[in-house]
Amino acid sequence: MNEAEILNLKPQLEQGLDTLGLSLTSEQVSRLMHYLGLLNKWNQIYNLTAIRDPQEMLVKHLLDSLVVVPHLRGETFIDVGTGGGLPGIPLAICFPDKRIDLLDSNSKKTRFLIQAKGELGLTNTKVLHQRVEEYRPQPLYDGVISRAFASLNDMVTWTQDLLHPAGYWWAMKAQKETEEFRDLPIWVEVDTIIELKVPGLDAQRRLIQMHKRSGASSAQS
């Protein structure tokens, strides 16, 4: 699919945004479409995602990322294991006044992220080529978000030093894997499980919000 054909998907994106109740400017919509074009172009070389069809990317990547927008709280976020920038880049476009940093240990993917950041003119994000367990930011983030971690336990354990004590983890999950909750450390509490509906996608999606228990120590895990 060439650039002109990808631009023909814009009405589907706008319809999806309307369904989600998101009012974005024409510039933000254009940036989302530009990002979709970049993802499609670089994917042919860097294998950023197993999805090859731009229309599927629009639904399973862009809208799937933006569906969490109404549920996020805070001013600074980090997308860990962001891969090709999901959900971080769509969120950075949607939240120009918030900080949305992108972290991944894969050098090919971070090269793409740096290119995308420049082409999209994103000034509210930093690309971090680093292993998550080695990153020690100051100040800490209000929120840690990911749609790529294999387990909730890995996510909270490896990112505990990134999160402000009053902050939240947001794990985007494709399936109802209730057994994962039994493996969470004692110092983590699940606040809420939000069932999500992605426009155009007939599949389960959920957002799991968690926080550090007050007075609990990670050493208790």
* Residue 168 contacts residue 142 (beta carbons within 8 Å): yes
Rounded to an integer, what is the distance from CA 105 to the centroid of its chain? Answer: 16
Collapse the DSSP code of 131 into the 3-class scheme (helix H, G, I; strand E, B; otherwise coil) and give the result: coil
Q: How many structural domains are present in the chain?
A: 1
Digit-coded pLDDT (tens) for 153-210: 999 999 999 999 999 999 999 876 667 888 999 999 999 999 999 999 999 899 999 9
For residue 127, give the CATH number of its domain: 3.40.50.150
- Give which of 65, 204, 216 is closest to 145, Cα–Cα: 65
Which range marks the domain in which residue 75 is found?
A: 3-220
Which positions ≥6 away from 97 have C-beta within 8 Å? 124
Distances (CA, A) of 7 to 31, 75, 101, 182, 206: 11, 31, 27, 45, 29
Radius of gyration of the chain (CA): 17
Residue 219 has pLDDT above 60, yes or no: no
Distance CA 32, CA 34 (A): 5
Residue 177 has a pLDDT of: 65
* Residue 95 contacts residue 124 (beta carbons within 8 Å): yes
Digit-coded pLDDT (tens) for 44-103: 888 889 999 999 999 999 999 999 999 999 999 999 999 999 999 999 999 999 999 999
